[in-house]
Amino acid sequence: MAAILRLAVLFSALGLGYSLYIDGCPLYGCRPSGSFSFYLQVPRNNVSINWETQFVFDAVPKGLGCVSDSVNIVCPSNGPFSTDTGYMSLYNTNGTIRWRDTVLKFPTLPMIDNYGDVTGSDGLNLVHYDCDGKTYPIIKCYGLKPMFNMQLVGTMYLLLVSEQGGLVVRETNAIPVAEIFLNDTIQRTNGTFLPISQPVVNGQRFYLLTEFVPEIDEFDPSILNLQRLYAIDVNNRPANIMTIAWCYDFEMERSDDNFESTIATRENKIKHIADSIQGQQNVLWNSNTGSVYVALPPPYLSKSITQRSFWGFRDAGDSPALSIRSDLDVIHMATFEADTSDDEKFHSINSDNDMWIATSDVKLSSVKLDGKISRTIDVAALVGADVTMTSSLVLVRENDTDNDVLIFGANITKPSNSPLLRSIGVNLASKNFVLAIDTSAGKLLWVFSVPDDYEVKGQISGFSGASYRELDQLIFYMENSKKTAKILSIH
Ligand SMILES: *[C@@H]1O[C@H](CO)[C@@H](O)[C@H](O)[C@H]1NC(C)=O
Ligand SMILES: *[C@@H]1O[C@H](CO)[C@@H](O)[C@H](O)[C@H]1NC(C)=O
Ligand SMILES: *[C@@H]1O[C@H](CO)[C@@H](O)[C@H](O)[C@H]1NC(C)=O
Ligand SMILES: *[C@@H]1O[C@H](CO)[C@@H](O)[C@H](O)[C@H]1NC(C)=O
Ligand SMILES: *[C@@H]1O[C@H](CO)[C@@H](O)[C@H](O)[C@H]1NC(C)=O
Ligand SMILES: *[C@@H]1O[C@H](CO)[C@@H](O)[C@H](O)[C@H]1NC(C)=O
């Protein structure tokens, strides 16, 4: 009974329907829309280490990062013991372990509700802990190995995506209520559209990027590599709970291009999808523009498409209206989403709210509703050295009217080449940094040398310290070349 109530609390606290209050970055993408943004009093000067974990653990596969709110900080762990491959909850004061989950094996990022309760899954089990680590009954998941994190849809539903392409919706009491497969016949070949993105949510609707996997053992990838964006509704009714609202097909490669034909195997394609997708952001829903944005990866074994492309669609309800189609090699996206996004007043204040994209050459561009780029911040030019982004991008604001600050982990190959870095006195012997960009000025707010030159990876999250009379913290996952990992808090 307790588990049921607690899950209900989780949903009503995080749900979009009413009293939305998301504090920090409590799930993958920070919000169900995948906005990668949260409120934080950004450290402005004298940025320093608050704590770093002192215990040894190994790099977590795919370096997903952490989730946190002002009650809890939770990260996937990997060691030191073989049972330590689930979640660990850390004290915000000193980064020591508050409790560990010993049930899950390499789960995706969990969700934290406003009470600090944690829900997560590795595809075999669904677990729920209260903020002190007390376990609620473990729920077995059959035939379900989510390749992505779970997602909240509306206020009542938990969505899980299985490795075979089944989409399962569970109610607040964790009972499965609906399952659909995205099966179709493409060029007379039966197959399934498998997810290649984290689902992102707009009210009762979610968007999922998929790629066709034929049910035959061998096929020509250029003929059967169709990628498709689905908009799927989760309806509050007893039957027909999940319905497809619309889908959009990204055009296929032509098979008569002058290339040798290759053969792909179903097994390898499924393995490729499973290996490459977790923790990668491909889709974002922006409620300010009523649009869904897609950073489309090249299809598996594509002969002619080798780069990502960037797409935008206004959701017209029962169909998509293509608004952006560009060759930009977008690797991350972030947009500010206010807590009061359902409020009319908000729209008038923030109608010029842009979204930010990061391209592989580490240019940060602000994109307007119609896809026009209003400005670009060239990070390598700002720094005066070659820069690579190592983590996801995150956007923070102190309040709704504050300016966007963009934060990410960066690898700077020759920091000593940069007059700027030499002048501000960072550690020129290290290559790994955290950069904060003040977008209003188009300037670096600060550059922080990561201790011991660990590389920052995965999602960056935040912890509000107001109720503890402490500074707000930024939380990072980082690892070194020997595959040892640490969690770092700066303030
Ligand atoms: C900067 O941080 C250091 C170490 O935390 C502290 O000793 C110093 O007083 C701070 N300086 C300012 C100007 O806040
Ligand atoms: C870390 O902080 C927690 C709570 O603030 C405290 O209970 C614990 O003793 C601290 N651990 C160490 C090693 O300081
Ligand atoms: C859809 O595809 C899955 C996986 O390939 C298969 O198990 C299932 O039977 C298919 N469902 C339908 C309705 O064809
Ligand atoms: C494809 O699926 C349809 C309907 O599920 C079925 O009738 C047909 O026989 C299948 N074709 C092949 C080639 O398996
Ligand atoms: C919002 O944050 C900015 C930047 O820190 C601050 O200057 C401003 O006073 C804040 N506004 C409100 C209404 O709190
Ligand atoms: C930094 O990036 C370069 C280029 O991607 C890579 O070769 C190098 O190994 C990275 N260095 C570190 C310390 O991560």
- The 3-state secondary structure of 282-326 reads CEEEECCCCEEEEEECCCCCCCCCCCCEEEEEEECCCCEEEEEEE
What average pLDDT does the chain have?
A: 88
Residue 98 Cα to ligand 2 middle (Å): 9
In whole angstroms, give the CA distance from residue 152 to residue 202: 10
Q: Which atom of ligand 5 is nearest to the CA of 403?
A: 4
Q: Which atom of ligand 2 is nearest to the CA of 98?
A: 3
Lowest average pLDDT, out of 137-151, 153-167, 233-247, goes to: 137-151
Q: Which atom of ligand 5 is nearest to the CA of 42?
A: 5
How far CA 404 is from CA of 39, 77, 339, 489, in Å, comes to 10, 31, 15, 21
pLDDT in tens, 86-136: 999 999 999 999 999 999 999 999 999 878 889 999 988 999 999 999 998
Phi/psi for 451 (5° steps) reads -60, 140
* Tokens of residue 10, six digits: 């989780």
User: Does residue 467's CB lie within 6 angstroms of at least one atom of ligand 1?
Assistant: no
Amino acid at 419: P
User: Does residue 48's CB lie within 6 angstroms of at least one atom of ligand 1?
Assistant: yes
- pLDDT category of residue 257 using cuts at 50, 70 and 90: low
Lowest average pLDDT, out of 261-275, 385-399, 412-426, goes to: 261-275
Residue 283 Cα to ligand 2 middle (Å): 39
Task: Name which residue leads in pLDDT, 14 or 83.
Answer: 83
Q: Which atom of ligand 4 is nearest to the CA of 188?
A: 13
In whole angstroms, give the CA distance from residue 145 to residue 180: 15
Task: Report the candidate in 422, 284, 440 with the shortest Cα–Cα distance to residue 358.
Answer: 284
**Start-to-end Cα distance in the chain:** 40
- Ligand nearest to C-alpha 431: 6
State pTM to two decimals. 0.91
Reading phi first (left if > 0) and then psi (alpha if -120 to 50, else beta), residue 51 is in: beta
CB within 6 Å of ligand 4 — which residues? 185, 190
Phi/psi for 446 (5° steps) reads -160, 165
How far CA 226 is from CA of 107, 209, 263, in Å, comes to 29, 11, 16
Dihedral of alpha carbons 296, 300, 304, 306, sign: positive
- pLDDT category of residue 8 using cuts at 50, 70 and 90: very low
In whole angstroms, give the CA distance from residue 194 to residue 181: 9
If one residue of 360, 413, 417, 453 were mutated to test the ligand 6 pocket, choosing by the most ligand atoms within 8 A of its CB, it would be 413
* pLDDT score at 427: 93
pLDDT at 146 > cutoff 70: no
3-class SS of residue 252 = coil
- pLDDT category of residue 147 using cuts at 50, 70 and 90: low
* Tokens of residue 9, six digits: 């609390």
- pLDDT category of residue 393 using cuts at 50, 70 and 90: very high
CB within 6 Å of ligand 5 — which residues? 398-399, 401-402
